[in-house]
């Protein structure tokens, strides 16, 4: 649905959805089935006990994507143009796998024989995303409202243009797991713990504790944990890039373009996923470098960087 408001402003609202079927579900097709699980972890419970792990795919995974997308755009007029695009979406699947054996992010599964038990938000499920941009031609110089009479002043102050891109979006999901027994026959995928309570409420989240590891316990021998794949969320992304430039005319056919660019101009930290292994020992002894369950030691957007460039065109 499109609408035009006048003054060069248009808007559009749309629904976008997609369903995928018969997709790859990659793992160990010789994993011990649930009905054969035992506290003793007996390898004879495998579908083909004469073999060990057998990598393969059952091609029975599914995916579902639904989104509401809205855009507002203003064409360049009176020295200003802008656009904003907002998306609310929900992307669910059994596993993030692409054709030709490619994969997206961490692949986690607990029970290879039941892909539906792995149905959860995709690694790329970003519920809310707002991306905005603006271009502003400063009102100085010839053809602009101010300082438009003097060509010398125009060479210094005229023709400057400022642009910015701002990204605000919620975080991606991640899976809480743990280290199970070595040489386990029953668990060919990831070990999911049992959940005691919501692990992301009741405290102030920080890089030292993004979720509460005590909200989980290991599953009993011979059982699968009741935690779900991608059940928690990483920090979101809030960043802005800024650019400023002008073209100086050197003669009639030669132009010197000057630009100054800054990425993450406000130096806003955007943190990565925390350590998802809930029974990793926590070590906060090194300032600024937390380690262990629930701690974050990486970023998704680098610190502020700035550059100045010039290009001669003739």
When pLDDT is cut at 50, 70 and 90, the band that residue 255 belongs to is confident
pLDDT (tens digit, 9 = 90+) per residue, 8-19? 789 999 999 999
Q: Looking at residue 2, what is its pLDDT?
A: 64
Give the global pTM: 0.84
**CA–CA distances in Å: residue 184 to residues 23, 233, 267:** 27, 29, 46
Across the chain, what does the average pLDDT equal?
A: 87
191 or 267, greater pLDDT: 267
pLDDT (tens digit, 9 = 90+) per residue, 292-305? 999 999 999 999 99
Burial 46-68 (b: 16+ CB within 10 A, else e): beeeeeeeeeebeeebbbebebe
Give me the residue spans of the domains in the chain. Answer: 2-313
Q: Looking at residue 101, what is its pLDDT?
A: 53
179 or 215, greater pLDDT: 215
Task: Give burial (CB, 10 Å; 0-12/13-18/19+) of 10.
Answer: middle
pLDDT (tens digit, 9 = 90+) per residue, 97-149? 765 555 566 788 889 999 999 999 999 999 999 999 999 988 877 667 766 66
Note whether 55 and 27 are within 8 A (CB). Answer: yes
Q: Looking at residue 223, what is its pLDDT?
A: 85
Task: Tell me the CA end-to-end span of the chain in Å, nearest whole number.
Answer: 44
Q: Looking at residue 147, what is its pLDDT?
A: 64
Note whether 163 and 243 are within 8 A (CB). Answer: yes
Out of 40-44, 234-238, 282-286, least confident range: 40-44
pLDDT (tens digit, 9 = 90+) per residue, 156-176? 677 788 999 999 999 999 999
Distance in angstroms (rounded) separating the CA atoms of residues 301 and 266: 12
């Amino acid at each position: 649905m499109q609408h035009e408001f006048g003054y060069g402003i248009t808007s559009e609202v749309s629904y976008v959805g997609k369903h995928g079927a018969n997709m790859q579900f990659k793992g160990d097709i010789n994993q011990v089935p649930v009905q054969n699980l035992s506290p003793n972890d007996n390898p004879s419970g495998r579908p083909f006990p004469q073999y060990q792990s057998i990598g393969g795919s059952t091609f029975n995974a599914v995916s579902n994507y639904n989104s509401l997308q809205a855009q507002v755009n203003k064409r360049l007029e009176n020295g200003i143009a802008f656009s904003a695009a907002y998306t609310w979406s929900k992307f669910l699947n059994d596993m993030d796998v692409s054709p030709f054996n490619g994969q997206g992010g961490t692949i986690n599964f607990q029970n290879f024989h039941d892909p539906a038990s792995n149905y959860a938000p995709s690694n790329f499920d970003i519920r809310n995303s707002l991306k905005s941009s603006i271009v502003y031609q400063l009102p100085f110089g010839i053809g602009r409202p101010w300082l438009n009479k003097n060509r010398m002043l125009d060479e210094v102050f005229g023709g400057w243009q400022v642009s910015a891109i701002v990204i605000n979006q919620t975080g991606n999901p991640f899976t809480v797991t743990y280290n199970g027994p070595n040489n386990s026959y029953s668990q060919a995928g990831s070990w999911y713990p049992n959940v005691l309570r919501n692990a992301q409420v009741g405290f102030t989240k920080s890089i030292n504790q993004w979720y509460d590891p005590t909200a989980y316990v290991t599953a009993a021998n011979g059982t699968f944990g009741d935690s779900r794949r991608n059940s928690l969320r990483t920090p979101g992304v809030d960043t802005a890039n800024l650019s400023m430039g002008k073209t100086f005319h050197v003669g009639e056919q030669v132009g010197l373009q000057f630009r100054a660019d800054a990425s993450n101009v406000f130096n806003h930290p955007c943190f990565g996923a925390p350590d998802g292994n809930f029974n990793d020992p926590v070590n906060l002894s090194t300032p600024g470098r937390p380690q262990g369950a629930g701690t974050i030691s990486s970023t998704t957007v680098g610190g502020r960087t700035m550059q100045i460039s010039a290009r001669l065109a003739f």
